[in-house]
Amino acid sequence: MQTFFTSLYSALISIFQSQRPADYGLYKTDLFSLVGWSTLGVALVLVLAFYYLFNSALRTGMFRTMHWVLTLALAAGLGTLLANTLSKSHGAESSSYLGYFMVVNMVVAALWFLLFSVLLKRWSTYARTTPFIGPF
């Protein structure tokens, strides 16, 4: 999976910035994989919480599309925070590359949340049609 995350982040960041920073080796060997797995885990936990904790076990009635969008925004915000915090804690310098990495991870977190929503929503008691009705 390290190769997957390295390829994903490198390709998406290269859309914004083609020049790699001096500490790109740190990103390639440690940060892409660490942040990728962390983001995937956070997105999965938020999807499980939205569909199965709030809308099945607790019956809070948070099944409207707006609630889903707010949870999606939370996932995206946490993705940005994860990229920033984990990168700086592992010694990455503040640079435009880190900024683009944070933006890309925000998008990746939202995409993971959307994918997990499509895959896991059908077994929810109250939110099986949130955010959209259909075969998805």
What is the Cα 70 distance to its own chain's centre?
Answer: 14
* Tens digits of residue pLDDT in 35-71: 999 999 999 999 999 988 988 777 777 888 899 999 9
The pLDDT of residue 117 = 93
Contact 94, 88 (CB under 8 A): yes
Per-residue pLDDT reduced to its tens digit, 72-96? 999 999 999 999 999 999 999 999 9
pLDDT at 134: 64
pTM of the model: 0.92
Query: Rounded to an integer, what distance in angstroms lies between the CA atom of residue 73 and that of residue 38?
Result: 17
CA 55 – CA 126 distance, rounded (Å): 5
Domain boundaries, the chain: 2-11+30-123
Choose among 108, 50, 40, 100: nearest CA to 76.
108
